[in-house]
Amino acid sequence: MTRDEVSDIVRRHLADELEVDAADITDATRLRDDLGADSMDLMILGQELKDVHGITLPEEEAVQVVTVGDAVDLVVRHLPSTT
Amino acid sequence: MSSTVAVDTTGADLGPAEVAHGAVLAAAHGIRVRLYGPAAELSPVVAGVAGIEVVDAPISIAKAADPAAAVQSTPDASIVQVARAVAAGEADAFVVAGATGPALAAGLLHVRRAKGIHRPALALPLPVPGRPVTLVDVGANVESRPDHLVQFAFMGAALARTVLGVDRPQVALLSNGEEPSKGTPDVVATHRLLAERLADSTHVEFVGNVEGTDLTAGVADVVVTDGFTGNITLKLVEGVSQTVVGEIRKAARTNPVAMLGGLLLKPALGRFRDEIDPEGPGGAYMLGLRALGVVPHGRFTRNGFEQAIVRAARGADGALTDVVHRDLQEAGALRRSPMAAATADAAAG
């Protein structure tokens, strides 16, 4: 999975959950300050990534995430190996 | 009724078969039921009953010490399968016997919060004689902001209308005095917000603050508070009620005259007992998710489980989650992201 594909998954999920236009969400968009995402939103995003894509994010790294770009980078770092 | 209710049977004190007996009673109302639990115990009870399907799910996390961790680490657990069935649209509502923590965790992670909802809440109809009072929140959240409490009021009112049969529920806010200025800063702010948002409502009437003593006097249909206060209040009411009933029983057995008096009172007390039977309302209601969840107490009998299933189906048939969303939208009380709010404000000029 490429970074663009991960970004698409994350942005689509956030757009659906928070009822904003996915096209308005960029890497620089702040999860809490701009999107109003709370800890429950981030927990549910993590659960969907685990259920649908088999990606497990360490909690101690997930709590450091500030922007959508941070979240995408975190997911990319933890993509399951395809080899 | 046309809804399908998914039921986790594994947390019942009397065993999964007791829940299955409740499902048989509920199926007589035309409700379709999917029972999750040990098939070897469930199937013999429901054999030949139309509308009931058994899903073999013997793994239980009903008594897990850390419900959230258990839900995440046990995908085969009965409650997780129930929540996933609801999320997948295979059931319209769910019932979890005696496992509030796992039900909340599985509900949040799999059924998910309804759109526009800040926090799910637990509502419990207290069987107050003459006029049941639904207390929201009884423990889903330890801390709640005023905008959360406002949503709890709307959720409780929608429950009262669609499931509990109250046409225009009266909603009150629990505080330490009736005056709007009484209470913590959050309670005072919540009072102001509720008065504003419900001023023109034709569905709900805000009757202001009530004190603890009013709760059992039936002064409102729905009483709103944060989950910390609500849980303590609930336990206090239960404790006082158990102690008083126990003392009356003891007193009625102290001598022959008292025993005779007890016998004479028995028919009247029987009616009173029926009125305050905690199984009647079906249990606690998980509000604010994308489907209604009901959590009957683990010690309930088949009658209580029947009520829980019937009321879960009634909530689904009455589109409770849609009613909540519509009412909150009309009142401008939906959760909105700053980005969506800015877009809407720009569009409004």
Please say whether the beta carbons of B201 and B194 come within 8 A.
no
The reported pTM is 0.90
**Distance, CA of B42 to chain centre:** 25
Ranges of residues in chain B with a pLDDT under 70 are 1
Percent of chain B with pLDDT over 90: 73
Test mutation, A25, A38, A40, A67, chain B, max B CBs within 10 A: A40
Percent of chain B with pLDDT over 70: 100
| CB-defined contacts A:B, below 8 A | 46
Q: What is the pLDDT, as a whole number, of residue B293? A: 97
Specify if A72 maps to a domain.
Answer: yes
Specify if A83 maps to a domain.
Answer: no
CATH number of domain containing A16: 1.10.1200.10
Q: What is the pLDDT, as a whole number, of residue B163? A: 94
Residue of B nearest to A30 (CA): B339
Indicate the DSSP class of residue A29. Answer: -
Specify if A40 maps to a domain.
Answer: yes
The model's confidence at residue A17, banded by pLDDT at 50, 70 and 90, is confident
Domain count, chain A: 1
How far apart are the two ends of chain B, measured CA to CA in Å?
Answer: 46
Contact B109 A43 (CB under 8 A): yes
Q: What is the pLDDT, as a whole number, of residue B300? A: 95
Specify if A45 maps to a domain.
Answer: yes
Specify if A7 maps to a domain.
Answer: yes
Nearest to B338 among A33, A44, A50 (CB): A33
Residue type for position B268: A
A38 is catalytic: yes
Q: What is the pLDDT, as a whole number, of residue B274? A: 76
Residue type for position B72: Q
Residue of B nearest to A52 (CA): B110
Catalytic residue among A16, A24, A33, A38: A38
Strands, E assignment, chain B: 4-8, 32-37, 52-56, 93-96, 121-126, 133-136, 170-174, 205-210, 222-224, 284-287, 293-295
> Does B63 contact chain A (CB < 8 Å)?
no
Domains present along chain B, CATH in parentheses? 1-112+289-318 (3.40.718.10), 121-280+320-332 (3.40.718.10)
The model's confidence at residue A82, banded by pLDDT at 50, 70 and 90, is low
Looking at the predicted structure, is the pLDDT value of residue A83 above 70? no
Which residue in B281, B285, B296, B270 sits closest to B324, CA to CA?
Answer: B285
Specify if A82 maps to a domain.
Answer: no
Shortest distance between the Cα of A56 and any Cα of chain B, in A, equals 11
Q: Which domain holds residue A29?
A: 3-77
> Does B29 contact chain A (CB < 8 Å)?
no
Looking at the predicted structure, is the pLDDT value of residue A36 above 70? yes
Residues in chain A whose beta carbon is closer than 8 A to a beta carbon of chain B? 17-21, 24-25, 29, 33-38, 40, 43-44, 47, 50
Please say whether the beta carbons of B196 and B223 come within 8 A.
no
Q: What is the pLDDT, as a whole number, of residue B55? A: 98
Q: B103-128 burial by CB neighbour count: b if 16+ within 10 A, else e?
A: bbbbbbbbbbbbebbbbbbbbbbbbb
Nearest to A40 among B113, B337, B339 (CB): B113
Looking at the predicted structure, is the pLDDT value of residue A53 above 90? no
Which tens digits make up the pLDDT trace of B138-182? 999 988 999 999 999 999 999 999 999 999 999 999 999 999 999
Cβ neighbours for A73, distance < 8 A, ≥ 6 positions apart: A3
